[in-house]
Structure 1
Amino acid sequence: MEHLPQQYRHLFPTLQTHTMLASCSQSALAEPVSRAIQDYHDSLLYMGTNWKEAIEKTEFARNEFAKLIGAEPDEVAIVPSVSDALVSVASSLTAFGKKHVVYTDMDFPAVPHVWQAHSDYTLSVIPSIDGVLPLEQYETHISDETVLTCVPHVHYRDGYVQDIKAIAEISQRKSSLLFVDAYQSAGHIPIDVKEWGVDMLAAGTRKYLLGIPGVAFLYVRKELADALKPKASAWFGRENGFDGAYAKGARRFQTGTPAFISVYAAAAALSLLNHIGVSHIRDHVKTICADAVQYAAEKGLKLAAGQEGIQPGMVAIRDERASETAALLKKKKVICAPREKVIRLAPHFYNTKEEMRHAIDEIAAKTIHK
């Protein structure tokens, strides 16, 4: 899939001067996304108001995200962030009568933060084993009293990819709902919420979805959404905006006016991703990551635990002073994302094998001279 960079690199001006390998934190900005942001600005600057156009753009973005994950548009809510999505979900589960929630030690810290703020839930943490989460761990920790199981599709620290369909089968058998954090997967790993049996899924736009902060999407299975009454809901979550009736489907999880400038960016970004096709992106990212893993080993670098699992979408290299190394690389215009004692090289469809090798050469050189 080397043709993808050849076809699309020209859309990303930053790539002319920088090696951008931080899609797990912030992807490079594409010209169509930049133009969409400018369109929002210009519509206010020259027309004074753009409410109708912004609502239409919001619905376009909703439809594009639904297409990306195999959902129906009415199963998608537009929210400010994945954290806000989970807060809204947490406020809606009292009708089930069960109060046990489980999450994993691989979840992004925002997940336990949300649940720890709710004293009416009892919490359990599913521990990983040597950097992976065997399915047996879910069998052990999910019980018939579990109302919700929270899992990351991809571990934010090292890119470990989980088998969501298999986890969903376990949670369904134990009558637990399943919430999937897809922030580190949506945009470079194909997602099919219907095929996998997912109840809820959320993803933000600033990482592999090529957008900017301010907007996220929450999928809630239609039959489930209509049975829930989230307390974190306001006029955008109502039937017509002004009465007290909940909107149908996932829209009831919406609150106030979305950040329209971020919606414009998301609409353009999602349109680009759907045009390319996430399955093509996945093939390309897997190919250059596999090469980078082998090249890193040749350079004597050690990978983080979990990299031996399902082929990750990033290469996570151990480094005791990862933040310091990343700062040094930034001076050489190599942009990567450190996390704890790991340097994450997270490519996208616009990156090349040569860029990954260049970054690894720089990391190896810094490691040798430390």
Structure 2
Amino acid sequence: MDTTLSAVRAEFPILEKCTYLNSNSTGAFPRGMEAVFQRYSQTLLNWRDEAWEGWWADWLGYMDAVARFINGAPGSVVTDTNLTTLLGRLATCFDYQSPRNRVVTTDLEFPTVPFLWKGFGRYGAEAVVVPSENGRMDEERLCAAIDERTLLVSLAHASFATGALVDLAPVLKRAREVGALVIVDAYQSVGAVPIDVEALGVDFLLGGAHKWMCGSTESAFLYVRPALLSSLRPAATGWIAGENPLNFEPARDWANTARRLASGTPAVLPSQLSRVGLELLAQVGMPTIRAHSLRCTARVMERAEEAGLTVVTPRQDSRRAGVVALRFQGDAEVARRMVARGFICSYRGALRVAPHFYNTLEEVDRFMDALVAEARREKA
């Protein structure tokens, strides 16, 4: 582990108490969050309305910091409490009238996505679900489903269950050929995999802070390609989406930034908390984080295969994000026992191991020693 990563590791107190490899579920919280809580508490205990001036600046600053992190332009990101809220609000910007009313998605999406598009069926949206093979998406099959009837393509960059990555480039190319827009759910990849929205040319990208970005559980974000902003007329916004909300006059128009997709009074504490982890990620840099992640996940797969455990996650570096999913006899019970022993992982149809930039290869080996022993005990 290089010196930069070693220094950052000291910022995560939970690592002193357990072996934490659960970042795909909830990232470790940095100790700098404590000062944010204390500052927020003091502000409330000594309340003056002037606090909103600082809070407003903090919120706008965090959104632009997220934009920089994914190489987006200032004003291209808006935050809210969760991805579902933002995706639903974005979905109200479109007319689902035949013949261009199809929403192409996959069977690998987090439950939010199919649930939401099913709901928009009442407004004319027709969901086209492309099936996966062995938990992985065939991009050729996905592209074949995108045609002139497609209004939107809505897909996950990385599978929440296995960490399998989708190659976005051919999907974006095909969508542009037929005039469709692409919505990428990057909740399971941002912070573990470098993402450059400008280079990709992605239309919309959603993510959240509480996994690989080491932030608050109530902080999701939506990136909008700037050229699209003026065309978006959301039906479910609040007063903060107005062009000048702090004058408290009746809203005449939406903001000319991604803030037009905001709701009501913003959740300022989650953005303040999430800024701490984001700054640590930016300090280390995504190339370093990605290289370390690939080393750690490769070690997990190597140790698992040696022990005869089934690795569900793709082996190729370019095809996996930050988590390794394993299946074997009694895997759910083994996951429970591992957590009870202080080896923190999670189970979602498979046992998931998710080292991050604050973990070491030695930790990975300790975890895998315990996991292999528990798996053999379960099989015996």
Q: How does 1:70-81 map to 2 (within 5 A)?
A: 70-81=71-82
User: What is the CA-CA distance between 1:287 and the residue it aligns to?
Assistant: 1.1
| Residue equivalent to 1:145 | 149
User: What is the CA-CA distance between 1:38 and the residue it aligns to?
Assistant: 2.5
Give the conservation status (yes or no) of the 8 Å contact 1:138–1:170.
Answer: no
Give the conservation status (yes or no) of the 8 Å contact 2:19–2:342.
Answer: yes
Give the conservation status (yes or no) of the 8 Å contact 1:74–1:250.
Answer: yes
Q: Structure 1 residue 359 and structure 2 residue 380: aligned?
A: no
| Residue equivalent to 1:91 | 92
* Aligned counterparts of 1:16 and 1:6: Cα–Cα separation in 2: 13
Give the conservation status (yes or no) of the 8 Å contact 1:131–1:306.
Answer: no
* Aligned counterparts of 1:321 and 1:250: Cα–Cα separation in 2: 46
Q: Which moved more, 1:320-329 or 1:283-292?
A: 320-329
Q: Please, which of 126, 129, 135 is the counterpart of residue 131 of structure 1?
A: 135
| Residue equivalent to 1:65 | 66
User: What is the CA-CA distance between 1:113 and the residue it aligns to?
Assistant: 0.8
Give the conservation status (yes or no) of the 8 Å contact 2:21–2:345.
Answer: yes
User: What is the CA-CA distance between 1:249 and the residue it aligns to?
Assistant: 2.7
Give the conservation status (yes or no) of the 8 Å contact 1:238–1:252.
Answer: yes
| Residue equivalent to 2:279 | 271
Give the conservation status (yes or no) of the 8 Å contact 2:78–2:259.
Answer: yes
* Aligned counterparts of 1:4 and 1:303: Cα–Cα separation in 2: 31
* Aligned counterparts of 1:101 and 1:94: Cα–Cα separation in 2: 12
User: What is the CA-CA distance between 1:96 and the residue it aligns to?
Assistant: 8.0
Q: Please, which of 253, 264, 270 is the counterpart of residue 262 of structure 1?
A: 270
* Aligned counterparts of 1:236 and 1:362: Cα–Cα separation in 2: 50
Q: Secondary structure at the match of 2:155?
A: strand
Give the conservation status (yes or no) of the 8 Å contact 1:345–1:356.
Answer: no
* Aligned counterparts of 2:343 and 2:313: Cα–Cα separation in 1: 24
* Aligned counterparts of 2:332 and 2:141: Cα–Cα separation in 1: 32
**Shift in alpha-carbon separation, 1:240–1:320, aligned structure 2, 3 A:** farther
| Residue equivalent to 2:260 | 252
Q: Which amino acid aligns with 1:87?
A: G
TM-score (norm 2): 0.93
* Aligned counterparts of 1:111 and 1:236: Cα–Cα separation in 2: 25
* Aligned counterparts of 1:48 and 1:269: Cα–Cα separation in 2: 28
Q: Secondary structure at the match of 1:186?
A: coil
Q: Structure 1 residue 158 and structure 2 residue 167: aligned?
A: no
Q: How does 1:1-370 map to 2 (within 5 A)?
A: 2-49=2-49, 50-94=51-95, 98-118=100-120, 119=122, 120-241=124-245, 242=249, 243-304=251-312, 306-308=314-316, 310-340=319-349, 342-370=350-378
How many residue pairs get matched?
A: 369
User: What is the CA-CA distance between 1:64 and the residue it aligns to?
Assistant: 1.0
Give the conservation status (yes or no) of the 8 Å contact 2:193–2:290.
Answer: yes
Give the conservation status (yes or no) of the 8 Å contact 1:304–1:318.
Answer: yes
Q: Which amino acid aligns with 1:24?
A: N
**Shift in alpha-carbon separation, 1:2–1:287, aligned structure 2, 3 A:** farther
Unmatched tracts of structure 1, length 5 or more = none
User: What is the CA-CA distance between 1:196 and the residue it aligns to?
Assistant: 0.5
* Aligned counterparts of 2:252 and 2:368: Cα–Cα separation in 1: 56
Q: Which amino acid aligns with 2:21?
A: L
| Alignment RMSD (CA, Å) | 1.7
Give the conservation status (yes or no) of the 8 Å contact 2:346–2:352.
Answer: yes
Give the conservation status (yes or no) of the 8 Å contact 1:154–1:161.
Answer: yes
TM-score (norm 1): 0.95
User: What is the CA-CA distance between 1:172 and the residue it aligns to?
Assistant: 1.1
